[in-house]
Amino acid sequence: MSVLSNVSKYWWCQIIGWGGLTLVSLFFKLTYDSDHFSEQFVFKILDFLIIGILLSHAMREMIISLKVLQKPFDRQIYFFVIITISFAIGLAFFQLFSWKYFDLLDKKELKAPFTRLMFGAVFNAAVILLVWNLIYFMYHYVEKNRTEQIDKLRMKALIKELELKTIKSHINPHFIFNSLNSIRALVDENPGRARTAITELSNILRSSMQAEKLETVPLEKELAIVKDYLALEQMRFEERLRINFDIDEDTLDQPIPPMMLQTLVENAIKHGISKQVNGGEIKITSDFVGNHHEIIIRNTGRLNGHRNADGFGLQSTQNRLSLMYGDKASFQINDIDYNAVEAKLIMPIES
């Protein structure tokens, strides 16, 4: 029982499918050609069970090695047709020479031209292999759609979690209290700056509330929120916080997950700048590198081996990129130079 439980679904389908086809073929042979049934019984078993399973498995290996299922839909059809015809021709040659060798051809077939026999054998083999390929393709097509639906549901759940945790943790009470205290100090001293600070705080809170509704936002919009956030933090850190932007204007319309950049910048201040006696610098770079959109957040400080210091922020960044872009995107955070940390986002370019 334990041996059977280790057999994969693929091999069960192979055994049941080809076994069923063998039984049907033997039934018709017994019904309409019982005189030659005993002669062809063993050959039919070998023909459908061994040759069928081995040949279809070889087709599967070729489909996997050529990455057919990862190609555009029209290219998938092209490859499936070519592979089916190629293997059908090979199977037809094998069957004809086997039938001739074991003297299984009747008198009518022996008198027929080889090309006619070959065409019939290729046609029959192509029909069987085409059905196999269609079943294989449809299974993976349905499985892919099901996986995509699950990923979308996971993404929605993650965005909801992000919204709640962003409001509760990342746009945290300490940040709000610090900002309000700074604004209160400015009310008499600099009323204009106090009004601007209130607007900046309002923009950040509004964006965090809208994070659930949007999968992506233009980089330009996300940068505006980051600038509001940094402006508020600069009221607290004053000259201890230095800010530098190096943004390629062509990247401003590129979509990125909402609040992702803001989360990483807040992480840089919380675990980098705030722990430096003399403060430090945050530099945000956005550019096209090769075929990707690259965003770098560099801040003064050291990881000191604590890559998960802000577990939710770093983990949610990695999870969101993986769900949205798969292996086309990546996130890295490392110590660089003597006293600097670099967080790098690499995402596909959207046209």
75 and 191 inside one domain: no
Taking each helix axis as running N to C, give the angle between helix 37-45 and helix 9-32, from 0 to 180 degrees, rounded to the nearest 10: 170
Tokens 């074991």 correspond to what residue? 102
Q: What is the mean pLDDT of residues 199-214?
A: 74
For residue 170, pLDDT over 50 is answered with no
Give the domain extent around 88. Answer: 2-149
Strands 217-218 and 340-348: unpaired
232 and 111 inside one domain: no
Q: Give the integer Cα–Cα distance in Å for 228 and 221.
A: 11
Q: Is residue 60 part of a domain?
A: yes
Per-residue pLDDT, 168:
46
Q: What is the mean pLDDT of residues 310-326?
A: 75
111 and 179 inside one domain: no
Q: Is residue 164 part of a domain?
A: no
226 and 186 inside one domain: yes
27 and 143 inside one domain: yes
138 and 201 inside one domain: no
- Give the global pTM: 0.52
CATH number at residue 219: 3.30.565.10
10 and 123 inside one domain: yes
55 and 143 inside one domain: yes
Who contacts 52 (Cβ-Cβ below 8 Å, separation ≥6)?
18, 21, 22, 128
Per-residue pLDDT, 5:
60
143 and 255 inside one domain: no
Q: Give the integer Cα–Cα distance in Å for 53 and 310.
A: 52
Question: In this structure, what token pair is assigned to residue 95?
Answer: 């069957």
* Top-confidence residue, 120 or 262: 262
CA distance readout (Å), 347 to 102, 206, 208, 313? 61, 25, 22, 18
- For the ranges 103-107, 274-278, 327-331, the lowest mean pLDDT is seen at 103-107
* Sign, Cα dihedral of 217, 311, 230, 289: negative
Overall domain count for the chain: 2
Q: How confident is the model at residue 310 (pLDDT cuts 50, 70, 90)?
A: very low
Q: What is the mean pLDDT of residues 211-218?
A: 74
Q: Is residue 166 part of a domain?
A: no
120 and 180 inside one domain: no
Per-residue pLDDT, 167:
43
For residue 252, pLDDT over 90 is answered with yes
Q: Is residue 282 part of a domain?
A: yes
Q: Is residue 158 part of a domain?
A: no
Q: Give the integer Cα–Cα distance in Å for 242 and 240.
A: 7
Q: Is residue 10 part of a domain?
A: yes
For residue 62, pLDDT over 70 is answered with yes
340 and 210 inside one domain: yes
Q: What is the mean pLDDT of residues 44-73?
A: 80
Question: In this structure, what token pair is assigned to residue 315?
Answer: 């983990």
Among 115, 149, 183, residue at a domain's last position = 149
Q: Is residue 165 part of a domain?
A: no
Among 149, 180, 195, residue at a domain's last position = 149
Among 117, 149, 181, residue at a domain's last position = 149
Q: Is residue 163 part of a domain?
A: no
Nearest 5°: the CA angle 151, 157, 162 is: 120
187 and 90 inside one domain: no
Within 13 Å of residue 325, how many CA atoms lie on the same side as its CB? 21
